[in-house]
Copies of this chain bind each other. A is one copy, B any other.
Amino acid sequence: MLDAVTEAKLKGADVVCFAELATCGYPPRDFLEFDDFIGLAEASIQELAAAADDIAIVVGSPSKNPVIEGKDLHNSVYFLADGEVQHIQHKTLLPTYDIFDEYRYFEPATEWNIVEYKGKRIALSVCEDLWNLGNENPMYTVCPMDEMMSQQPDLMINVSASPFHWNQANERIKVMQANVQSYQLPLFYVNQSGAQTEVIFDGGSLVLSPDGKVFDELPYFEETLKIYELDEVIEGGQVQQQAKDKMQLIHDGLLTGIRDYFGKLGFQKAILGLSGGIDSALVAVLAARALGKDKVRVVLMPSQFSSDHSVEDARQLAQNLGVQYDIIPIEPIYLSHLKALEPHFWAKSFGLAEENIQARIRGMLLMSFSNKFGNIVLNTSNKSEMAVGYGTLYGDMCGGLSVIGDVYKTEVFELCRFINRDKEIIPDNIITKPPSAELRPDQKDSDSLPDYEVLDQVVYQYIEQRRDPQDIIAMGYDADLVRRILRLVNINEFKRHQTAPVLRVSTKAFGMGRRMPIVGKYLA
């Protein structure tokens, strides 16, 4: 931020803006319960304030609630100028749903004041505070901007950490347009960019003219510094909107998610198993693009149940990507396991245990590379199989980060076709052959699961739309099938509980935003 302040000063800016809780990252979660952590955020504010000469700085940071009653902290936006804190406005509407836990930590604002700087009256707000326009959001009863209008502001600045899902940018633009149309004020909407474990922030900050038009839409998934003349924004006219393609956005979001997970942990190298199937193929492409092909290593681990084409397809993809690949046949290890278990499994026929052993040997080999060379294992499970528990715990469900755990199987196909749109990067055979786990002879996903077109729709209605079973059945799906699917979703919570964080690209991902009982009997 100090670098950006310097750059903004050089470019002659009067005010430079940063995102919500920018001093400590969003979401800081239970770090907020440590005074020491809050002290570090306050020290950052002091450092920034010292740099605020000839420029004002707007930045989000936690602040201590001086009153004993209520939560210990506020989620605040600071206005720093002339070397000191000039104004603090607290956040009023504290999202406490999905991935958000703000009321766990923060006390809402009960006072709203604008700040004056260089003759302009500025209404500051934090993220959700602009999402209750006209008091139409049923979750809230206060509209902070309404409270500030009596003080006749000249412009609005909102600092946000608005998490990405593939349709969020469209929704955000509509909400911000409605705000400027209502208040007839220019709005500088500053959003976080970058990922924090599972939560991705897509940037795409907005500048809106009082007539409701988007004056400028900043790049997505990028930190940007750009200067605007307030008069020009007020005058309007320079209308810009970026194209929003679902697959492009998911693709770019996942690259950000991978890149920042590695970058923020201080790791560089990834490893994954390449089965010849479509899920691991997609993750390999995304990893190579996010980290660089020299940072990604893949391992082909065929068993006696792998088809010939699987190894060939996987090898071809590795060559297309230019990533290091190794081939380790797992049959000898598999046989050593079976031999050790033989006295105990006597007379039991081949089944789930034997299938899972293969998946777990592969997980173990990847983890061995991870331990030996410092590569983080990427998990390759998709949302459809995570939903119904079609995966082996500690086997193919292992890994430090789930890259496509919020991407349905039908979307995996779509994303692969998007990647191949100009050139065959993922061998066509990987995309066209019927999905199979290849853990027993001639196995196909369709032996155990409904068609992905149906499965994905039913799971989507249940998870993203939170529709009741009878409503999903009323949409025309077979009643027994719906009940079977929802039951599978609910009884497999124990598996999802133990998987890697899932990069969130939809409105409801597995992970911190979806909190389900493990022993609950509902629909089970």
Q: Which of B101, B141, B499 is within 8 Å of A498, CB to CB?
A: B499
Contacts of A394 in B (CB 8 A): 360, 363-364, 367, 394, 398
Are the CB atoms of B356 and A371 closer together than 8 Å?
yes
Are the CB atoms of A368 and B468 closer together than 8 Å?
no
Contacts of A336 in B (CB 8 A): 332-333, 335-336
A368-B339 CB under 8 A given contacts A70-B141, A138-B70, A515-B101: no
Q: Which of B96, B339, B521 is within 8 Å of A103, CB to CB?
A: B96
Contacts of A30 in B (CB 8 A): 514-516
**Is A174 interfacial (CB 8 A cutoff)?**
no
**Is A37 interfacial (CB 8 A cutoff)?**
yes
A70-B27 CB under 8 A given contacts A364-B360, A365-B341: no
Contacts of A96 in B (CB 8 A): 96, 101, 103-104
Are the CB atoms of A37 and B522 closer together than 8 Å?
yes
Q: Smallest Cβ distance from A138 to chain B, in angstroms?
A: 5
Are the CB atoms of B141 and A517 closer together than 8 Å?
no
Contacts of A519 in B (CB 8 A): 196-197, 260-261, 264-265
**Is A69 interfacial (CB 8 A cutoff)?**
yes
Q: Which of B371, B400, B500 is within 8 Å of A352, CB to CB?
A: B371
Contacts of A101 in B (CB 8 A): 96, 101, 104, 515
**Is A479 interfacial (CB 8 A cutoff)?**
no
Are the CB atoms of B517 and A501 closer together than 8 Å?
no
**Is A518 interfacial (CB 8 A cutoff)?**
yes
Contacts of A435 in B (CB 8 A): none
**Is A83 interfacial (CB 8 A cutoff)?**
no
Scan residues 337-384 of chain A and give those whose CB is less than 8 A from a CB of chain B.
337, 339-341, 344-345, 348, 351-353, 356-357, 360-361, 363-365, 367-369, 371-372
Q: Mark A112-149, 1 if CB is under 8 A from B, else 0.
A: 00000000000000000000000100111100000000
A34-B517 CB under 8 A given contacts A138-B70, A333-B337, A393-B367: no
Q: Smallest Cβ distance from A311 to chain B, in angstroms?
A: 16
Number of copies: 2
Contacts of A40 in B (CB 8 A): 522
Contacts of A139 in B (CB 8 A): 69-71
A40's closest neighbor in chain B, by CB? B522
Q: Which of B330, B469, B518 is within 8 Å of A36, CB to CB?
A: B469
Q: Which of B27, B36, B517 is within 8 Å of A470, CB to CB?
A: B36
Are the CB atoms of B332 and A344 closer together than 8 Å?
no
Q: Which of A328, A497, A519 has the most chain B CB atoms inside 10 A of its CB?
A: A519
A353's closest neighbor in chain B, by CB? B371
**Is A244 interfacial (CB 8 A cutoff)?**
no
A330's closest neighbor in chain B, by CB? B340
Q: Mark A176-219, 1 if CB is under 8 A from B, else 0.
A: 00000000000000000000110000000000000000000000
Are the CB atoms of A69 and B140 closer together than 8 Å?
yes
- Which bracket fits the contact residues of A? 35 or more
**Is A68 interfacial (CB 8 A cutoff)?**
yes
* Docked complex Cα distance between A514 and B514 (Å): 16
**Is A391 interfacial (CB 8 A cutoff)?**
no
**Is A28 interfacial (CB 8 A cutoff)?**
yes
* Docked complex Cα distance between A328 and B341 (Å): 8
Contacts of A337 in B (CB 8 A): 333, 364-365, 368
Contacts of A328 in B (CB 8 A): 340-341, 344
Are the CB atoms of B340 and A369 closer together than 8 Å?
no
* Docked complex Cα distance between A36 and B384 (Å): 23
A340-B356 CB under 8 A given contacts A70-B138, A497-B500: no
**Is A309 interfacial (CB 8 A cutoff)?**
no
Q: Mark A427-448, 1 if CB is under 8 A from B, else 0.
A: 0000000000000000000000
Are the CB atoms of B197 and A517 closer together than 8 Å?
yes
Contacts of A371 in B (CB 8 A): 351-353, 356
Q: Smallest Cβ distance from A327 to chain B, in angstroms?
A: 10
Contacts of A292 in B (CB 8 A): none
Are the CB atoms of A340 and B333 closer together than 8 Å?
yes
* Docked complex Cα distance between A53 and B515 (Å): 38
Are the CB atoms of B344 and A339 closer together than 8 Å?
no
Are the CB atoms of B352 and A369 closer together than 8 Å?
no
Q: Smallest Cβ distance from A126 to chain B, in angstroms?
A: 18
Scan residues 489-518 of chain A and give those whose CB is less than 8 A from a CB of chain B.
494, 497-501, 512, 514-518
- Per CB-CB distance, the 8 closest pairs between chain A and chain B, nearest first, are A36-B468, A353-B371, A336-B336, A264-B519, A394-B394, A353-B372, A197-B518, A29-B515
Extra 13 A-B pairs, beta carbons < 8 Å, given A29-B515, A341-B368, A348-B372:
A25-B520, A29-B517, A30-B516, A36-B468, A71-B139, A196-B520, A197-B519, A333-B336, A345-B372, A351-B371, A356-B368, A360-B360, A393-B398
